[in-house]
Structure 1
Amino acid sequence: MENISKDDFRYKEAERQVKRIKRFYVFVFIYIVVNIFIFLINYRELKPGQTIWQLKYFLLPLVWGVGVVVSAMRTFIPGFMLGSKWEEKKIKELIDKEKRS
């Protein structure tokens, strides 16, 4: 297996980060569009005297919003899950394992 330079590794890592950021933005866009659509449907289906300000109408956006926040933290805070050096260690471990076999 050929030796990987630090610049190549940094480029690949930056490329992966850009892909993660892009996926996050797509996720947020879908979250916004779907929740607006659901809100409009719920608003349209209200019976006379009902109000839109009920927990049942906001539960899905709240729970899904927690997922958006966790996704944002994983995307923009290095090492939020599994530690900042976990990927590097795992890559080195797999390369060493490949060299031995």
Structure 2
Amino acid sequence: MQKQYTQEEKYIRAKKKVDNIKGFYANLLAYCLVIPFLFFINYMTSPGYYWFWWPMFGWGIGLGFHAFGVFGNNLIFGKDWEERKIREIMDQDKY
């Protein structure tokens, strides 16, 4: 049996999911900024041994799990995705 949600509960649930999506994009941005910086540090300090691969792969795997946890198989977003996502999640709870 499906639980009946009020509009406020639906909005709170949708907002939480949208916050998770925003968290993923913040993580992705940090990854894209930090990994090149680590490469630069590695290249300048020990060019013979490329240790930057380890954090790149480790964080990349974590980023992949984060993406799957947030999006599942639904990775396509477009213009005004946040508002559309909130409406979509609220519409799913109209039982």
| 1:28 paired to 2:25 | no
Q: Runs of 4 or more off by more than 4 Å in structure 1?
A: none
| 1:15 paired to 2:15 | yes
Percent identical pairs in the alignment equals 27
Q: Taking structure 2 as the reference length, what is the TM-score of the superposition?
A: 0.62
Corresponding position of 1:43: 43
List runs of 5+ in structure 1 lacking aligned partners. Answer: 79-101
List runs of 5+ in structure 2 lacking aligned partners. Answer: 74-95
The two structures, once aligned, show a CA RMSD in angstroms of 2.2
Corresponding position of 2:93: none
- Larger Cα Rg: Structure 1 or Structure 2? 1
Equivalences, count: 70
Q: Taking structure 1 as the reference length, what is the TM-score of the superposition?
A: 0.58
Among 66, 70, 93, which residue is 2:65 paired with?
Answer: 70
